[in-house]
Amino acid sequence: MSSPSTRRNSCRGVVRGSRASSECHVRRRGSSCSYFSSGAQPGDFSVRLSQPIFTITLRFLLAIDLWLSKRLGVCACEESPCGSIRPLVRLVEFSGHVIPWLIGTVYTLLRGESVAEQEIMLNLALALMLDLLLVRVVKTLVRRRMPAQNRSDILSNFFVERYSFPSGHATRAAMCARFLLAQLVDTASMWVLVVGWAALVSLSWLLLARHYVTDVGFGLAMGYCQYSLVERLWVTWDCLQDLLLM
């Protein structure tokens, strides 16, 4: 027969084993929807009084950026608080992707009925390619890692890039919105529709935890300024014909 002390020790071992297994199970469940990289832990933003004031301020702002981005990522996966509307948010996200914009622009350019319409579509296509180039250059220079994506999200593996700063969707949304407002939109209702679309596209990447808040904010400002460059480099239809003849 086993002694009472042996029984107590065995019971304690069973309880400890069950606690460890339950903790492991909870960790596994929590890790399935961890959408921010493990490299951006709160401890990374610890500061020392001996550091320069610029470094302290930068780390403080980055900590706020990380906290706010995590609070907004309510559609990061199906288990998120607003995971039920994730398909709708992803549809809004796809509306700002460069592929449908390029396809629609080239189709309208080829099927244009007037020279003025073809000229606008030509410059829109050039603006989209300019946006891709500038965003790629900035991302390569900054090299800020994107938040970790849900591994079960197959489409994200094809369309989501490695670097996040700035948000390409935000730059494209701001640039295209300003382009449309300047060239095509002539009513107040269309103005509200275009601006609302640009805001929703930018917000969708925060809700899906694709970007940080600073990525989207800088992307909107960068895209807004890009249209000024497009206006300066505007290519007229006659100028294009002269270049082709040369």
Q: Which 3 state secondary structure label does DSSP give 179?
A: helix
- Give which of 184, 187, 177, 183 is closest to 225, Cα–Cα: 177
For the four alpha carbons of 132, 135, 138 and 144, in that order, the dihedral sign comes to negative
Cα separation, 39 vs 123, whole angstroms? 41
Which tokens go with 131?
A: 């946006």
Residue among 134, 205, 211, 222 flagged as catalytic: 211
With 0-12 / 13-18 / 19 or more C-beta atoms within 10 angstroms meaning exposed / middle / buried, residue 212 is buried
Distance CA(7)–CA(9), nearest Å, equals 5
- Identify the active-site residue in 139, 169, 172, 210: 169
Q: Is 25 a catalytic residue?
A: no
Catalytic residue ranges: 169, 211
